[in-house]
Amino acid sequence: MMHFLIVLDRQIFLFFNNTIASPIFDIIFPFITEEKNWIIPGLIALIIFVIVKKKQAIPVIILIIITFALTDLIAYRFLKPLFGRLRPCNPAYFNNGIHIFLKGGRFFFGHKSSFAFPSNHAANIFGLATMLTLFYRNRFYYFYFFALLIGFSRIYIGVHYPLDIFGGAILGISVGGSVYWGYFGILNFRRKIAEKLTTKE
């Protein structure tokens, strides 16, 4: 079963990485996948969000920061060393410049020796999408479309397998949901305690 999943994962990788490749995608997805390219748009979006939502923006921003910190920590410090899965662009997979498993694979950012599963990018962006969806549920399609776009870009540029993205997405959704419900669970608990104390008085 595991062998079948690995083979399927490689086939899907080649489909997204090579089969549907185009000159336009070759420009778009390397740009999209770079975190530094989102700093200015992200800051602009944050400023607009704070101006529009005012005090309501504070808990959302704090919970997003907590979610990012947890997804990054869990993925990078615990799960990646635990699974030890190599990236498709790991130098160990190349023989005379040709990939031994992924013939025709395209690796935009060269070789990378770090572990792949789960994807930190996917965990972070799906955690963000989940948090924003739980606060603004009628706009979920925007949030998850953007998350899927980032996840897809990681496969297209050759730094992750589809299963890496899937694993990161599951982690991000789980952490985002847990942080959200944990926060409101604590607020609800505090409210009940306050009500009991008020009743006793």
pLDDT band at 24 (very low <50, low <70, confident <90, very high): very high
Mean pLDDT for the chain overall: 91
Tell me the mean pLDDT in the region 99-124: 91
Q: What's residue 197's pLDDT?
A: 63
Percent of the chain with pLDDT over 70: 96
Average pLDDT, integer, range 12-38: 94
Q: What's residue 74's pLDDT?
A: 96
**Sorting pLDDT into bands at 50, 70 and 90, what band is 190?**
confident
Identify the band that residue 185 occupies on the pLDDT scale cut at 50, 70 and 90.
confident
- The reported pLDDT for the residue numbered 199 is 62
% of the chain beyond a pLDDT of 90: 69
Tens of pLDDT, residue by residue over 48-70, are 989 888 888 999 999 999 999 99
Instruction: Kindly indicate the confidence band of residue 196, based on its pLDDT and cuts at 50, 70 and 90.
Output: low
DSSP codes of every residue in the chain: -HHHHHHHHHHHHHIIIIIT--HHHHHHHHHHH-GGGGHHHHHHHHHHHHHHHGGGHHHHHHHHHHHHHHHHHIIIIIIHHHH-PBPTT-GGGEETTEESS-TT---TT----SB-SS-HHHHHHHHHHHHHHHHSGGGHHHHHHHHHHHHHHHHHTTS--HHHHHHHHHHHHHHHHHHHHHHHHHHHHHHHHHHHHHHH-
- Which sign, positive or negative, has the C-alpha torsion 163, 10, 89, 23? negative
Q: Could you give the CA distance from residue 44 to residue 65 in angstroms, rounded to a whole number?
A: 17
Amino acid symbol at 124: N
Average pLDDT for 184-196:
77
pLDDT attached to residue 103 = 86
pLDDT computed for residue 201 by the predictor: 56
